[in-house]
Amino acid sequence: MEETAIPPQVSVLIVSYGRPAVLRRCLAALEQSVGRETFEIIVVDNGSFDDAATVIDEFPNVTPLRLPRNFGFTKALNIAMRTAKADLFLFLNPRTEVLPDTVQLLSATFAAEADAVAACPLLADQSGAPAPLLYRLPSPARVLALACAGQFDAAPFPDAVSGPQSIEFASFAALMVRAYFLKGLRYIDEHYAQSWADAEVAAQIRRAGKKTLLVPGAGAVWHAEDGLRQMLPSAALAVLASDWVMGASSFASKHFGFAAGLKVRTLATLRSLFSFRLREFFNLLSGQRIDGTQTVL
């Protein structure tokens, strides 16, 4: 009789763009994980401009998905989720280097916490200091400021605790989510092209009355500086900036009303004009998001 394949418990989903050494470090750490046989790894190469796509071939147990152009983080992640087989998705940034027991500890958390929809490890930088990747969910009064700042408001780092602790908003640097929850949302709204998808998931978790847990026993190293922005031309940076604003506008429209979203986009567009960031200004006028049509990425 033929043996029935046992589905993985966790699908690790990585969206990669450039930086082959960064991706190699991330995958090498995952391959050293406890219980490696219980999870699958799917890497979506989002139209890399260098040799990053070939790194996947060095890891025969990794499933590669290669896109011809950079279609934005959210579309690439949705493609990965539709390919994944497990009941738990672990979103992982290539800059995150997991510790050997991280995947196992995160997945075990859900068995004990019925109300938990998401869980994240304790991220630290290379010196061991906490990495600032926990955020406050954007309020109506703060969305415009965040659109202009280009980053979310950091949340105070939780005090040392012995067990999982509820938090408001964790980034996709390392976040495990129950697959059924995201499938119920029909995955992630692709109005968020490159930016704000993590805020959208956090907002939906709050709306559903569920929890995101920080699991202090699970750890990972966050390598913040990888030099990607220094490698991109100014035109590409202008597209990234406009994509961030458009993500903020989409978030405001969806959660606070159409007028709130229009206000964010309008005022951010005027700010770019008065700051003489003309590339960003014209991108915002045309509603530029990272969607595969750009030739600068």
Rounded CA separation 287/265 (Å): 9
Q: What is the pLDDT of residue 131?
A: 86
- Judge if 67 and 123 occupy the same domain: yes
Rounded CA separation 105/201 (Å): 22
Q: Is residue 242 one of the residues assigned to a domain? A: yes
Residues 6+ apart with CB under 8 A from 295: none
- Judge if 198 and 89 occupy the same domain: yes
User: Which residues in the chain come in under a pLDDT of 70?
Assistant: 1-4, 160-161, 226-229
Q: Which of 195, 222, 249 is the last residue of a domain?
A: 222
Q: How many CA atoms lie within 13 A of 52 on its CB side?
A: 26
CATH number for 121: 3.90.550.10
Q: What is the pLDDT of residue 50?
A: 75
Q: Is residue 293 one of the residues assigned to a domain? A: no
- Judge if 192 and 239 occupy the same domain: no
Nearest residue to 191 via CA among 115, 106, 251: 251
Q: Is residue 117 one of the residues assigned to a domain? A: yes
pLDDT digits (tens, 9 = 90+) for 252-286: 999 999 999 999 999 999 999 999 999 999 999 99
Q: What is the pLDDT of residue 205?
A: 96
- Judge if 89 and 31 occupy the same domain: yes
- Judge if 75 and 57 occupy the same domain: yes
- Judge if 261 and 182 occupy the same domain: no
Q: Which of 171, 193, 222 is the last residue of a domain?
A: 222
Q: Which of 222, 240, 261 is the last residue of a domain?
A: 222
Q: What is the pTM of this model?
A: 0.93
- Judge if 40 and 177 occupy the same domain: yes
Q: Using alpha carbons only, what angle is made at residue 264 by residues 260 and 265, rounded to the nearest 5 degrees?
A: 120
Bridge partner list, 130: 124
- Judge if 203 and 239 occupy the same domain: no
Q: Is residue 291 one of the residues assigned to a domain? A: no
- Judge if 163 and 184 occupy the same domain: yes
Count of domains forming the chain: 2
Q: What is the pLDDT of residue 11?
A: 97
- Judge if 135 and 249 occupy the same domain: no
Structural domain for 276, as ranges: 228-285
Q: Is residue 87 one of the residues assigned to a domain? A: yes
Q: What is the pLDDT of residue 128?
A: 86
Q: Is residue 295 one of the residues assigned to a domain? A: no
- Judge if 211 and 256 occupy the same domain: no
Q: What is the pLDDT of residue 156?
A: 84
Q: Is residue 2 one of the residues assigned to a domain? A: no
Q: What is the pLDDT of residue 228?
A: 64
- Judge if 204 and 71 occupy the same domain: yes
Q: What is the pLDDT of residue 161?
A: 64
Q: Report how far apart, in Å, the C-alpha atoms of 66 and of each of 7, 94, 200, 290 are.
A: 23, 16, 25, 17
Q: What is the pLDDT of residue 130?
A: 85
Q: What is the pLDDT of residue 1?
A: 45
Q: What is the pLDDT of residue 4?
A: 59
Q: Is residue 15 one of the residues assigned to a domain? A: yes
Q: What is the pLDDT of residue 292?
A: 86
